[in-house]
Amino acid sequence: MKLIYIVEDHETIRDGVVQYLSLSGYDARGFKCISDERKAIDSEKPDLLIQDVMLPDGDGFQYVKELKESYPSLPVIFLTARIEESDRILGFELGADDYIVKPFSPKELVLRIQALFRRLEGASDGKEDVMVFSSGDDVMKISKGAHEIRINDHLVVLTAAEWRIVLYLAENAPILISRAHILEDCFDYSFDSYERVVDTHIKNIRMKLKPGTWIETVRGYGYRFSGKRV
């Protein structure tokens, strides 16, 4: 059973989400503030964090930014009343897997959670579990089952969103992939205004994949994985 944490200071919303997710087959646990959730996550890591932004003991964006340093692969959905496009983009740039604005439908929330888990689980359902690529003298090994990327036997730590992007580009190499397709296939989004979120993810990925040149930019269109299949 998937374990989901919900951090929401509004009691009615929090209890409603916990109840709805429990009825949908999840182990859902609610917290009214960041400090309570942080104590819980340090003892038991959830499969998903649903995070409000405006909380009495801190800012949810800043908290997730700090949390990702310790748990980079933890999937996160922001659930918030902040509707500005800049807030949505910031949420995705911080590594969020989804961003849901209040008021919301509990049914829609469950559907998005199910879609997120399908994407995460689908990343390891292919026929080939390990892919190996080279870039100059450097070698990258992608293990789908273990959700691991190693370069020259060094483990590369990626967020869940970064992992999906790298895997998607590598599986489709050497095909050129547009930003729009990356959004649709990795995040289930097709909004043009979010395309710069892809650029931010790619920038962060490149910093983590050094040494080697692994992702090529085609200006005005998108990206392709440039490592050579071994």
Mean pLDDT of 64-91: 87
* 206, burial (CB in 10 Å: exposed 0-12, middle 13-18, buried 19+): middle
* Single-letter code of the amino acid located at 211: P
Give the confidence band of 56 by pLDDT, cuts at 50, 70, 90: very high
E strand or H helix at 218, and its extent? strand 215-218
The Cα–Cα gap between 143 and 132 comes to 9
The Cα–Cα gap between 147 and 25 comes to 25
Query: Residue 125: its pLDDT value, please?
Result: 53
194 pLDDT more than 70: no
Query: What structural domains and CATH numbers belong to the chain?
Result: 3-122 (3.40.50.2300), 130-229 (1.10.10.10)
Give the confidence band of 228 by pLDDT, cuts at 50, 70, 90: very high
What residues are paired with 217 via a beta bridge? 223
Mean pLDDT of 32-39: 94
Query: Residue 142: its pLDDT value, please?
Result: 94
- Sheet containing 148-151: order of strands: 154-156, 148-151, 138-143, 130-135, 228-229
pTM of the model: 0.72
E strand or H helix at 178, and its extent? strand 177-178
| DSSP result, 66-109 | HHHHH-TT--EEEEES---HHHHHHHHHTT-SEEEESS--HHHH
The Cα–Cα gap between 67 and 45 comes to 11
Lowest mean per-residue pLDDT among 36-50, 101-115, 178-192:
178-192
**What radius of gyration, in Å, describes the C-alpha atoms of the chain?**
18
What residues are paired with 215 via a beta bridge? 225
13 pLDDT more than 90: yes
DSSP 154: E
